[in-house]
Amino acid sequence: MITWEDNYRHASQQLSLTGTRDLVEHPELALDSLISARILFRGLAEGWFTGRKLGQYFNETKDDPVNARQIVNGNDDDDLIASYHRDFLAALKAAEQEVA
């Protein structure tokens, strides 16, 4: 999700990572599951990657998995990714019906 030194610096600042946990000095820390999850969730929610935010595409009135790709990667393979979204939602609905 992050490339280039400026993005590592930005993530470090936003996540208050300093010293031996600074991503610029220790980029391998981006592989740590807790740090990478924090980068992912905060980055998507706050628009770190492209300026577009998750809430612009998914909210009470909108469900737009095709254009949500713009949050990170633009619209490459957007229909394929949107099909994963539809399949995942269908699986959740099916699981909910089994429990009910």
> pLDDT tens for residues 28-49?
999 999 999 999 999 999 999 9
In which band, very low, low, confident or very high, does the pLDDT at 75 lie, cut at 50, 70 and 90? confident
Return the amino acid letter for 39: I
Domain co-membership, 58 together with 100: yes
The confidence score (pLDDT) of residue 53 equals 97
Say whether both 4 and 44 belong to one domain. yes
Collapsing DSSP to helix, strand or coil, 9 comes out as helix
Do 85 and 58 have their domain in common?
A: yes
Note whether 21 and 29 are within 8 A (CB): yes
Structural domain range at position 90: 54-100
Q: Which residues pair with 97 in a beta bridge?
A: none
- Regarding whether 68 and 42 lie in a shared domain, the answer is no
Asked if residue 28 lies in contact with residue 22, where contact means CB atoms within 8 angstroms, the answer is no
Note whether 18 and 3 are within 8 A (CB): no
Structural domain total, the chain = 2
Q: pLDDT band at residue 1, thresholds of 50, 70 and 90?
A: low
